[in-house]
Amino acid sequence: MSPSRYTLRIEGPDGKTLESKLPSVTEILDKVLAKNGLPDWYYKQAVSGFGTLLGKYGTLPSDLRSLHSLMKSEGLSPYAARDSAAAQGVAIHKAVESLAKGGKPEKFSELTAWWKAKKLKRSLILGAEQLVYSAKHGYAGTVDLVYQDPEMGDTVLADIKTGNLRDSHELQLELYRWAWEERA
């Protein structure tokens, strides 16, 4: 497991500090839920990369190290696809933060259209990249966007996804909701 991004720190009046690392919601879900499609996805990315290299060069290196190096340098490895998707996710999250502050990001017209369809404006935003934690259950996470629904008045916790939706996403939001409600 990667190092925890969240630390709960309590400082007393005597200067003593208590600290505990909190696992993130996604770390918990990754540990408890199998991602059955992940090995298949890596395999498909690799095969697609091999096909692209064969089309371009007509042959592939015979040793694994050279093949891996070539796939990496050409941006065709599964890791390159993963890293590219991660970079896009970071950019989208920055666009959400910009919208929450009243900005108008140039990219991601679908996100901007979603924002307009929801009739969101700065006064309705309760938080972007909002830290939530559950001291009761011992976890933390970061909600992409928290806003007041302009029509229903409900508080909405939104997590923006760039890929296919999975059941684990619903669980992720449920854990965020528990932590959000614990604040009250």
The two tokens of residue 33 are 């839920």
Calpha distance 104→75 (Å, rounded):
31
Instruction: Show the tokens assigned to 102.
Output: 């009243």
pLDDT at residue 42, rounded to an integer: 86
Mean pLDDT of 43-70: 92
The model's pLDDT over 80-105, given as tens digits with 9 standing for 90+, comes to 888 888 899 899 999 999 999 999 88
pLDDT tens, residue by residue, 99-143 = 999 998 888 889 999 999 999 999 999 999 999 999 899 999 999
Helix axes 37-57, 78-100, angle to 10 degrees: 110
Each residue of 18-45: pLDDT tens digit? Answer: 888 889 998 898 888 877 777 888 889 9
Backbone angles phi, psi at 33, to 5 degrees: -110, 130
Q: Is 55's pLDDT higher than 60? A: yes
Q: Where are the alpha helices (DSSP H) in 21-100?
A: 25-32, 37-57, 64-73, 78-100
- Give the chain's radius of gyration (CA, Å): 21
